[in-house]
């Protein structure tokens, strides 16, 4: 599941809306929305994201959060380490190879450490 997909599911469940109902309102298939939630589709287009924001009737901070999550929700990431230190290439490759073996708490810790160091 992508960060945007998790937030969409949270919003749907909080409002008691099914995937089918939301899909009909957005004029897309429920299969598309399911794939979007589960990370089997790339991040939505700007227009689709605006439809989602309008559908949930979120404003300001929540709309910005959905936009931020959409930017971080591409399930097929490419990391260009050309011109960087060899350690960057090794790290990117190890992460790509082993990310599926990390526990959720390890992922949270790694993400937190990265955010702390790049701010």
What's the pLDDT score for residue 34? 95
Domain boundaries, the chain: 3-71, 86-118
Gyration radius of the chain's alpha carbons: 17
Q: In whole angstroms, how far apart are CA 7 and each of 31, 98, 101? A: 17, 25, 24
CA distance 63 to 61: 5
Selecting from 3.90.660.10, 1.20.58.220, 1.10.260.40, 1.20.1600.10, what CATH number does the domain 3-71 have?
1.10.260.40
C-beta of residue 60 within 8 angstroms of C-beta of residue 67: no
* Predicted confidence band of residue 5 (pLDDT cuts 50, 70, 90): very high
Residues 50-71 pLDDT 10s: 999 999 999 889 999 999 999 9
41 has a pLDDT exceeding 90: no
Orientation angle between helical segments 60-71 and 46-56, nearest 10 degrees:
140
CA distance 115 to 119: 6
Residues 7-37 pLDDT 10s: 999 999 999 999 999 999 999 999 999 999 9
1 has a pLDDT exceeding 90: no
Answering whether pTM is above 0.85, one says no
């Amino acid at each position: 599941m992508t960060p945007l997909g998790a937030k969409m599911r949270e919003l749907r469940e909080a409002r008691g809306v099914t995937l089918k109902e939301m899909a009909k309102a957005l004029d897309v298939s429920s299969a598309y929305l399911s794939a979007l939630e589960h990370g089997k589709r790339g991040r939505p287009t700007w227009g689709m994201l605006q439809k989602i924001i309008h559908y949930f009737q979120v404003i300001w901070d929540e709309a910005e959060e959905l936009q931020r999550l959409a930017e971080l929700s591409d399930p097929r990431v490419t990391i260009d380490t050309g011109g960087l230190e060899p350690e960057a290439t090794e790290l990117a490759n190890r992460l790509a190879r082993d990310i599926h073996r990390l526990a959720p708490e390890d992922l949270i810790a790694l993400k937190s450490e990265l955010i702390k160091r790049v701010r």
